[in-house]
Amino acid sequence: MTASEAQLDVLQGVIPDKSGNSSDEQDCAWASVMVPLSRNGCLALFRDNIELLFRINPLYEVEKWIPKGHDQFRLIGQNLSNDKRIVTDLTVNTTEQGIRIDYKDQLKVSTFFSIEDVSGGTKITLTENYAPVSAEERKSRLDEVDKSLVPWARYLQEFLVNWKRWSWFAPWRWYTKKIWASMKPSARRITYMLLWITFAEIIAFLMVFIIFWFEMDKYF
C-alpha cells in the first residue's frame, strides 16, 4: 500500500452534544485509518513510544512528559482544539486488541488504539471514551470535549506511512524521535515551510548556474 492509497478509511462516532442526551452511545468518539505497517510492527512501535503518540497529535503541545512508574506517566501541556490545559496522570495498558491509555481526573477517561490486521495492511481505530455524566453536567462541560481526534488519526496515519518508507535510515529515525517530536506543532509547520523555501532557492540557483554555464562561451 502506497502513501496515496493510505486514505482515511472510516470516520465515525459521536461526542457529547448540546442537547444533553445521556445515552451510552454518545459517550465515545472514534476514527479509523489504514496504514501500510504490520499489526505487530504498529504494536511494538506504539508500545515503546507512548510519548511519541501524543506528540504526533498536531493539536497537542506537550510541555512535560514525566515517567512516574511502570507504564505510568504525567502529561502536562495544552490542547489547542479546545484551548484547555492538560494536566493528567495516565496509565498504559496493553490488551489483545491494542493499547489503552487511561486518564485520571478527566472528562475523557481513555484513548484506545485498536490495531487490526486487514487485507493490504493494518487498520488502526482510535476510540476516545468519556465518563458517563448527567445531562446537566454534560452540557456544562461541553467545552472540555477533545476535538483533536480526527487530526490525530490523520497525522498518525501520515507518520506511519513515512515510518514505513524511511525508518531503515538511522539518521531519519534519530531526527524524528529526538528533534521533530520535541517541536511544537507550530514549529514543525514553520520548519516544513523553511525547508521548502530552501529547496526552491537551491533549485533556482542551479538553474541560474546551468544557464550561465551554457552561455559562458559567449562572454569568455
Percent of the chain with pLDDT over 70: 78
Residue 190 has pLDDT above 70, yes or no: no
Which residue shows C-alpha cell 454518545? 26
**Contact predicate 9/16, CB 8 Å:** no
- Identify the band that residue 15 occupies on the pLDDT scale cut at 50, 70 and 90: very low
Distance from C-alpha of 49 to C-alpha of 70, rounded to nearest angstrom = 14
C-alpha cell at 11: 470516520
78 closest CA partner among 62, 55, 101: 62
In three-state secondary structure terms, 133 is coil
pLDDT digits (tens, 9 = 90+) for 77-131: 999 999 999 999 999 999 999 999 999 989 999 999 999 999 889 999 999 999 8
pTM for the complete prediction? 0.78
Distance from C-alpha of 123 to C-alpha of 125, rounded to nearest angstrom = 7
From residue 170, give the alpha-carbon distance in Å to each of 4, 55, 110.
24, 20, 33
Query: Between residues 5 and 218, which one has the greater pLDDT?
Result: 218
CA 165 to chain centre: 17
- Identify the band that residue 180 occupies on the pLDDT scale cut at 50, 70 and 90: confident
What average pLDDT does the chain have?
82
Mean pLDDT of 48-66: 95
Total residues belonging to the chain = 220
